[in-house]
Amino acid sequence: MNDLLLLVLKRLGFGLLTLLVVSILIFFAVELLPGDVAEAVLGQGATPETVQAMRDQLGLDRPAVVRYLEWLGGAVTGDFGVSAVSGEPVINAIGDRFVNTLFLAAYAAVIAVPFAILLGIVVALLRNSVFDRVANVLTLTSISSPEFFLGYILILYLSVKLPLFPAIASLSSDMSLGELLHRTFLPALTLVLVVTAHMMRMTRAAIINLLASPYIEMARLKGVPPWKVIVRHALPNAWAPIINVVALNLAYLITGVVLVEVVFVYPGIGQALVDAVSKRDFPVVQASSLIFAATFILLNLAADVGAIITNPRLRHPK
Amino acid sequence: MATFVFGYYAALIIASVILAYVDYKKWFLMVFSLLLVSFVAGIVGGAGALEVITIFVAVLATAAAVSYAFKFFLVLIAKPNLAKELKTAPLTAAFGMFVIFTYAVAGIFAPLIAPHGQAEVISGAFAPPDANMLLGADQLGRDIFSRIIYGARNTVGLALIATLGAFFLGALAGLLAAVKGGWFDQFMGRVADVIMSIPSLIFALLMLSILGTSTWVIVVVVAVIYSPRVFRLTRAVAGNIVVMDYIEAAKLRGEGDWYLIRREILPNSTAPLIAEFGLEFCFVFLLIAGLSFLGLGLQPPTADWGSMVRENATLISFGDITPLIPAAAIALLTVSVNFVVDWMLFRSSGLKEQ
Which pLDDT score is estimated for B352? 43
In contact, B144 and B204? CB cutoff 8 Å:
no
- Is B36 a domain residue? yes
Contacts of B148 by beta carbon, 8 Å cutoff, 6+ apart: B135, B303, B305, B308, B325, B326, B329
Q: Which of B11, B40, B62 is the last residue of a domain?
A: B62
- Is B323 a domain residue? yes
Distance separating alpha carbons of residues B171 and B233, to the nearest angstrom: 8
- Domain hosting B54: range is 2-62
pLDDT digits (tens, 9 = 90+) for B168-209: 999 999 988 988 888 888 898 888 888 888 888 999 998 988
* pLDDT, mean over chain B: 85
Q: How many beta-carbon pairs under 8 angstroms link A with B?
A: 142
Distance separating alpha carbons of residues B275 and B267, to the nearest angstrom: 15
The answer to whether residue A129 neighbours chain B at the CB level (below 8 Å) is no
Distance separating alpha carbons of residues A280 and B341, to the nearest angstrom: 39
Distance in Å, alpha carbon of A136 to nearest chain B alpha carbon: 10
- Is B126 a domain residue? no
- Is B9 a domain residue? yes
Distance in Å, alpha carbon of B163 to nearest chain A alpha carbon: 16
pLDDT at B320 over 90: no
pLDDT band at B354 (very low <50, low <70, confident <90, very high): very low
- Is B69 a domain residue? no
In contact, B32 and B24? CB cutoff 8 Å:
no
- Beta-carbon separation of A160 and B316 below 8 A: yes
Chain B positions in Cβ-Cβ contact with residue A251 (cut-off 8 Å):
199
Letter string b/e over residues A99-131, b meaning 16 or more CB atoms within 10 A of that residue's CB: ebbebbbebbbebbbeebbebbbbbbbebeeee
Chain B positions in Cβ-Cβ contact with residue A160 (cut-off 8 Å):
316-319
- Beta-carbon separation of B293 and A259 below 8 A: yes
Residues written for chain B: 354
Which pLDDT score is estimated for B334? 93
- Is B76 a domain residue? no
Which pLDDT score is estimated for A182? 84
**Are residues B184 and B294 both part of a single domain?**
yes
**Are residues B53 and B191 both part of a single domain?**
no
Helix (H, G, I), strand (E, B) or coil at B137: strand
- Beta-carbon separation of B316 and A156 below 8 A: yes
pLDDT at B349 over 60: no
- Beta-carbon separation of B210 and A33 below 8 A: yes
Query: Cα B19 from chain centroid?
Result: 36
Chain B positions in Cβ-Cβ contact with residue A141 (cut-off 8 Å):
331, 335
Q: At what angle do helices A130-144 and A90-125 cross, to 10 degrees?
A: 160
The answer to whether residue A5 neighbours chain B at the CB level (below 8 Å) is no
Distance separating alpha carbons of residues A143 and A122, to the nearest angstrom: 19
User: In chain A, whose CA is at the least distance from the CA of B341?
Assistant: A140
Chain A positions in Cβ-Cβ contact with residue B214 (cut-off 8 Å):
none
Distance in Å, alpha carbon of B253 to nearest chain A alpha carbon: 35
Q: Which of B62, B77, B109 is the last residue of a domain?
A: B62
pLDDT digits (tens, 9 = 90+) for B149-171: 998 889 999 999 999 999 999 99
Distance separating alpha carbons of residues A257 and A104, to the nearest angstrom: 8
Which pLDDT score is estimated for A249? 85
- Is B319 a domain residue? yes
**Are residues B29 and B162 both part of a single domain?**
no
**Are residues B180 and B33 both part of a single domain?**
no
Distance separating alpha carbons of residues A268 and B305, to the nearest angstrom: 25
Chain B positions in Cβ-Cβ contact with residue A28 (cut-off 8 Å):
none
Domain count, chain B: 2
Distance separating alpha carbons of residues A85 and B223, to the nearest angstrom: 31
Residues written for chain A: 318
In contact, B204 and B225? CB cutoff 8 Å:
yes
Q: What residue type is A154 in one-letter code?
A: L
Q: Any idea what the Cα angle at residue B282 is, between residues B280 and B284, rounded to 5°? A: 70
Nearest to B317 among A32, A167, A285 (CB): A167
* Helix-then-strand count for chain A, H and E: 15, 0
Which pLDDT score is estimated for A315? 67
- β partners of residue B121: B142
How far apart, in Å, are the Cα atoms of B343 and each of B127, B230, B275, B338, B348? 43, 20, 9, 9, 9
Computed over its alpha carbons, how large is the radius of gyration of chain A? 24
**Are residues B21 and B170 both part of a single domain?**
no
Distance in Å, alpha carbon of B264 to nearest chain A alpha carbon: 31
The answer to whether residue A165 neighbours chain B at the CB level (below 8 Å) is no
Distance in Å, alpha carbon of B105 to nearest chain A alpha carbon: 22
Distance in Å, alpha carbon of B204 to nearest chain A alpha carbon: 10
Nearest CA among B195, B315, B336 for reference residue A296: B195
In contact, A171 and A261? CB cutoff 8 Å:
no
Q: What residue type is A229 in one-letter code?
A: V
Helix (H, G, I), strand (E, B) or coil at B142: strand
Residue of B197, B217, B292, B349 to mutate when probing chain A, most A C-beta within 10 A: B197
Which pLDDT score is estimated for B332? 92
- Beta-carbon separation of A259 and B338 below 8 A: no
Q: Any idea what the Cα angle at residue A208 is, between residues A207 and A214, rounded to 5°? A: 100
Nearest to B317 among A147, A160, A296 (CB): A160
CA dihedral (B119, B120, B124, B126) positive or negative? negative
Q: At what angle do helices B144-180 and B324-347 cross, to 10 degrees?
A: 30
Q: Give the CATH number for residue B224.
A: 1.10.3720.10
| Residue numbers of A between 25 and 44 with CB closer than 8 Å to B | 25-26, 29-30, 32-33
pLDDT digits (tens, 9 = 90+) for B243-255: 888 888 888 888 8
pLDDT tens, residue order, chain A (318 aa) = 577 788 888 888 988 998 999 999 888 888 777 667 777 777 767 777 777 777 777 777 777 788 888 888 888 887 777 777 777 788 887 888 888 898 899 899 999 999 998 888 888 888 777 788 888 888 888 888 888 899 999 888 888 888 878 877 777 777 778 888 888 889 999 999 988 988 888 888 888 888 888 888 898 899 988 778 877 888 778 877 788 888 888 888 877 889 999 999 888 898 889 988 888 888 888 889 999 999 888 888 888 888 777 777 766 655
Distance in Å, alpha carbon of B171 to nearest chain A alpha carbon: 23
Distance separating alpha carbons of residues A303 and A247, to the nearest angstrom: 5
- Is B150 a domain residue? yes
Chain B positions in Cβ-Cβ contact with residue A211 (cut-off 8 Å):
354
Q: Which of B23, B46, B62 is the last residue of a domain?
A: B62
In order of start, what are the domains of chain A with their CATH numbers?
Answer: 97-282 (1.10.3720.10)
Say if the ipTM goes beyond 0.90.
no
Contacts of B298 by beta carbon, 8 Å cutoff, 6+ apart: B154, B155, B158, B215, B218, B292, B304, B307
The answer to whether residue A149 neighbours chain B at the CB level (below 8 Å) is yes
**Are residues B164 and B54 both part of a single domain?**
no
In contact, B111 and B149? CB cutoff 8 Å:
no
Which pLDDT score is estimated for A318? 52
- Beta-carbon separation of B197 and A22 below 8 A: yes
Chain A positions in Cβ-Cβ contact with residue B200 (cut-off 8 Å):
255
* DSSP states along B124-135: STTPPP-SS-TT
- Beta-carbon separation of A141 and B202 below 8 A: no
Which pLDDT score is estimated for A208? 83
Distance in Å, alpha carbon of A146 to nearest chain B alpha carbon: 6
Distance separating alpha carbons of residues B192 and B114, to the nearest angstrom: 42
What are phi and psi for residue B142, nearest 5 degrees?
A: -95, 150
In contact, A308 and A7? CB cutoff 8 Å:
yes
**Are residues B157 and B52 both part of a single domain?**
no
Contacts of A310 by beta carbon, 8 Å cutoff, 6+ apart: A239, A240, A243
Q: Any idea what the Cα angle at residue B335 is, between residues B332 and B340, rounded to 5°? A: 125
Distance separating alpha carbons of residues B176 and B231, to the nearest angstrom: 10
- Beta-carbon separation of B198 and A255 below 8 A: no
**Are residues B154 and B252 both part of a single domain?**
yes
* DSSP states along B188-233: HHHHHHHHHTS-HHHHHHHHHHHH---HHHHHHHHHHHHHHHHHHH
C-beta atoms surrounding B200 within 10 Å: 21
User: In chain B, whose CA is at the least distance from the CA of A146?
Assistant: B286
Helix (H, G, I), strand (E, B) or coil at A316: coil
Which pLDDT score is estimated for B351? 46
- β partners of residue B137: B143
